[in-house]
Structure formats: structure tokens, C-alpha cells
Amino acid sequence: MQRDPHPLTLLLALQNTWLFLCSTVLAIVEELDDTFKDTRVDDVWLVDFYAPWCGYCKKLEPVWYDVGAELKSSGSPVRVGKMDGTAYSGMSSEFGVRGYPTIKLLKGDLAYNYKGPRTKDDIVEFANRVAGPAVRALPSKQMFDHMMKRHDVLFVYFGGESPLKEKYIDMAAELIVYTYFFSASEDVLPESVTLPELPSVVVFKDGAYFTYDEYVDGGLSSWVNKERFQSYLQIDGFTLYELGETGTVYILYSTNLLTSTTLIQRVAKEYREHFNRDFQFGHMDGNDYINSLIMGEVSVPSIIILNTSNEQYFLPSEPVETLEQLVHFINSVLDGSAQAQGGDGMFQRVKRVAFDAKSTIMSVFRSSPVLGCFLFGLPLGVISLMCYGICTAESDDGQEDMELMKRDDEEEEDDEEDEPRQAPGELEVLQRRKEGNKPHFS
């Protein structure tokens, strides 16, 4: 008969398991200190700069350990670490950390900022993309076809050594944080693709391909930064931030209404040559984000054009139901005939402060009414008591002054009353003196 293990034996086993798990966690995510500056140059590092008091940092912590475990198990050369930015403020300043949490991939002398969603898959994909070469080769048709299926937007340089390739490599080193870049020979192209000349930079997206033209499109970096988005896409907060960096005016609508979707997709495809330079088309589910952006209420569904360069927005003056009406609305924005709302003027900035304060207070009360009453009721109560004390003190001082003035008035009245009482006596004495001085006749 098998005997049950001794409780002490179970306790020791659990302790050993716990120590093993702790050592494993420490191995996949390293706590960094001020010696990191001298030891980092030989490796590629993915570092989370955090602050112990930061709530977002605490929320990221379990995700960060998952990132470390994923990269280690996949054999990635990227080492994962974290650094207390408040304890090593000099190091944080040197790496350009201005807020917490900040995620950076450090490769040689370069530091790449991560600005995407703080999820394990997105962070791991960013680390693997940036840690590798800026431009990856596509040696065969099979590899080219595989990448075409894997990526919604694909940039490829075709041709040999040239000044354009040097520009392409420099641009890729800068924009690798956003997307992949490839190079290939003309042999890997399918028969349906015909290039006007070699070398060429081509973007494949939306079931078509578009070639970079330096004379028409301007700088290569600006062209890539614009073309890295699909012609029509679903927009969220992070996409909105990235679109803002391109300086484009883009159109989006509030809900997934089929009619609006069809119209906007048709404009994005059929009028690409007219609007692609200035507009990005897409949609956003719901209207909460748009309401906070314009500090107002838009109906659902709505079509709205936002200008991220000056925070202006445009609403159609009449319902948009046809393709011609939508094109007319877009053209009215381009030619300046559409009425602009919002902006970044002083009045709008003051309005933004008031709107954000109101939104914060309302969100606190909706999520936790008791906490809202405590946070906002207590300070208001203290301020009310202080005001009451100040007003009461002034009232008491005024009452004392009134009593003193009344007392002085009474004393003056008493003095005035005493003077008339003495006057008759003085007159009588004077009268007697006069009579005594008169001569007597017998």
C-alpha cells in the first residue's frame, strides 16, 4: 500500500516549484540598472521604462512577462528588460523617455519607439520586425506570393544597386516601426504586374499595385508614410494617432451602415487619383470617440471629415445618399466652400479644458458614484466651510465696529447734554455781576 507523502515533503516541493518559476520569470524579463548603458550595445533589447506608481505600468506588467516568454520560446535574439525610470532618471532622459510606460527597442545606436496597442501579439510582432534587417530579400516567386498573402500592404524595391535603393534603405531604417520592407528581382513578379521602369519602388494593396514617381509623389518617405495605410480601413484610437502624424485630412463615419460603407469604399477606389493625396477613408464603430474629438454630439450614422493638422472638422449640410453628393461634399472641403468647425484657437483650447474636466467628472460618477461624491464632494465641502468662516469673521468684525461707533455716539450725546445744563448757571452769575455794577438812584 502506497503511503501518502509527508506534509513537509509537499511543502518543500511547492517551495522548489515556486523558486523555479521565479527564476524563470527573472530570466525572461531582466530588471535593469544604470550599468545597462555599457552592456547593451552587443545585443538587441526591448525595454519597458516604467514608474512604480503608474497604473498603466502595472496593467502592462503581466503582458510584458508574456512578451518575454514568447520571444524566448521562439528563439528570438531580442532580450527583454524593464527599468524603473524614476530610480534611474538619467538613463530615462538619455533614451528620451517622457512618460510611463514607454516601450523602446534598442539596436546598436538606434532607439525605436513603440506606439501601438499594448498587447502581447502586437508588441512581439513589433520586436521581431524591428530587430531584423530594415530591408528583407524575396528570393523566389513562392516567397513573394507568401508575403503577398500575409501582408495587406507590401512595399518592394525592384532592381539592382542604384541611388533609389540607397534612399529606400535609409527610409526603411526610419519607418520599419510601422511596416515591413522588401527587395526582389523582376523575375519574382507575376505576369499581371508590369513595371514602367527599373529600378522601381512598388506598393501592393487593395488588390492593385502603385509605383512611386519621384516627380509626382515628392519625397520617398512621405509617399511611403501615406501609402502604408489601406485605401479604406477601420479606424481606432491608435490608427487615428498614426494618421495624425501624416498630416492628412481623412474621412470616417460613425457606424457600420451598409449604404455609407459602400459609398465611401467606392470613392476610395474610383476617385483615388483625385483624393488619395489629401484624404484617408475609413470608418469608426460608434460615435463616442468622435463626440469627444469634436466636443459635441453627432448623429448615428454620420459622415464627418477631420483635419488632423488644425483639429477642424466638417459636416455635410444635407444628408449624403448618393455618390455624387459625397464627391461634392469632399470637393467643397478641398476648395474651401464647406464651413469649418472646431479648430485649435484659444477659445477651442479653453473649451477643450472644460470639456475634458466635465468628461472626467461624469466618467467617475458613472463608474463609482460613491467615489465621485468623495473626490468632489469633500473638496467642495472644505471650500464651503472656509468661505463660511471668512464671511462669518468679516461679519463679526463689522458688528464689533458698529458697537464701538454706537458707543462713541452715545458719549458724544452725553457731552452735548451736559453743556446746555451748565449754561443757565453761568448766565445768572453774569446777570448778578451786571446788576452789581449798575449805579443806584434814590
- Is the Cβ–Cβ distance between 342 and 313 less than 8 Å? yes
Residue 302 φ/ψ, nearest 5 degrees: -140, 155
Residue type, 303: I
* Unique residue bearing C-alpha cell 460613425: 254
- How far is the C-alpha of 199 from the C-alpha of 271, rounded, in Å? 28
C-alpha cell at 276: 488619395
C-alpha cell at 115: 506606439
Q: Is 387 helix (H, G, I), strand (E, B) or coil?
A: helix
- How far is the C-alpha of 58 from the C-alpha of 73, rounded, in Å? 24
Answer yes or no: 22 catalytic. Answer: no
- How far is the C-alpha of 12 from the C-alpha of 412, rounded, in Å? 98
In angstroms, the Cα distances linking 336 to 303, 331, 348 are 18, 8, 20
Other CB atoms within 10 A of residue 87 CB? 12
Report which of 137, 211, 198 is spatially closest to residue 169, judged by C-alpha positions: 137
- Is the Cβ–Cβ distance between 221 and 267 less than 8 Å? no
* Unique residue bearing C-alpha cell 529600378: 199
- How far is the C-alpha of 72 from the C-alpha of 28, rounded, in Å? 7
Q: Is 92 exposed, middle or buried (0-12, 13-18, 19+ CB in 10 A)?
A: buried
In sequence order, what are the residues at sequence separation of 6 or more whose Cβ sits closer than 8 angstroms to the Cβ of residue 179?
Answer: 151, 153, 155, 228
Among 22, 54, 373, 391, the one annotated catalytic: 54
Residue 282 φ/ψ, nearest 5 degrees: 180, -170
Among 22, 57, 373, 387, the one annotated catalytic: 57
Answer yes or no: 54 catalytic. Answer: yes
Residue type, 56: Y
* DSSP string for 141-177: HHHHHHHHHH-SSEEEEESSS-HHHHHHHHHHHHHTT
C-alpha cell at 164: 533609389
Q: What is the radius of gyration, based on Cα positions, of the chain?
A: 40
Catalytic positions are 54, 57
